[in-house]
Structure 1
Amino acid sequence: MKWQSALAIYTLFWAMSVFFVLPFGVRTSEEAGVPLVPGQAPSAPHSFNPTKIVVRTTILSAVLFGAFYLNYVYGWVTAEMLDWTQ
């Protein structure tokens, strides 16, 4: 696998992982014990920490890409194994 392909696939895993990571650890203003700002939705997060989200996303995407790459190298699951029409 070329490094450009690996980078593109890793980027796709990273973008997908963001959506898995975003909901974890979110606290609303009510849960944090802070009064709502006028016009703020009750479900809005109290604070946003992008650094924590980027670190968690990078770790998750590295694990997922590692599993993908090991499958690519060792061929644990192939396209023929997933063809149920035969």
Structure 2
Amino acid sequence: MSVAFGLAIYFMLWWIILFAILPFGMRRTQEEAGEVIQGSEPSAPEKPQFLKVIVITTVVTTIVFSGYVALRNSGFGLDDIPFLQPPAGDYAHPGD
């Protein structure tokens, strides 16, 4: 895998995981706190913790990306997954 390809995969994973993690940890909205900042949405978080979200996203993405790289380097592929095979025997195939 080239460095550019690895960085592209990491970047895409980071953004996907960011949007998965964003809703967690939001305690109260500005509306619930009673202090809506003028020009912002009332449903915005009261105290956004962007640094915490970015660090958690980076840690989770690094773990997922490491698993991806390990699986890719192991040589495991779709051909290694056992699929159910139809029973052997003389039976009519539709369209024969």
Aligned to 1:69: 69
Aligned to 2:91: none
Aligned to 1:6: 6
Shift of the alpha carbon at 1:18? Answer: 0.4
Aligned to 2:24: 24
Distance of 2:3 and 2:85 partners within structure 1: 34
Shift of the alpha carbon at 1:68? Answer: 0.2
Structure 1's consecutive aligned runs of 4 or more residues displaced over 6 angstroms after TM superposition are 82-86
Q: Under a length normalisation based on structure 2, what TM-score does the superposition of the two structures give?
A: 0.69
Q: Mark the runs of 5 or more structure 2 residues left unpaired by the alignment.
A: 87-96
User: Which one has a bigger Cα radius of gyration?
Assistant: 2
Aligned to 1:45: 45
| Structure with the larger RCO, 1 or 2 (CA within 8 Å, 6+ apart) | 1
Question: For 1:36-77, what per-residue CA distance to the aligned partner results, in whole angstroms no more than 9, with x for missing partners?
Answer: 428853x4311112111110110010000000000001134x
State the Cα RMSD in Å.
2.6
Aligned to 2:78: 79
Q: Which amino acid aligns with 1:11?
A: F
User: Matched residue pairs, number?
Assistant: 81
Distance of 2:35 and 2:82 partners within structure 1: 51
SS at match of 2:78: coil
Question: Residue 69 and residue 85 in structure 1: after superposition, are their counterparts in 2 closer, same or farther (change >3 A)?
Answer: farther
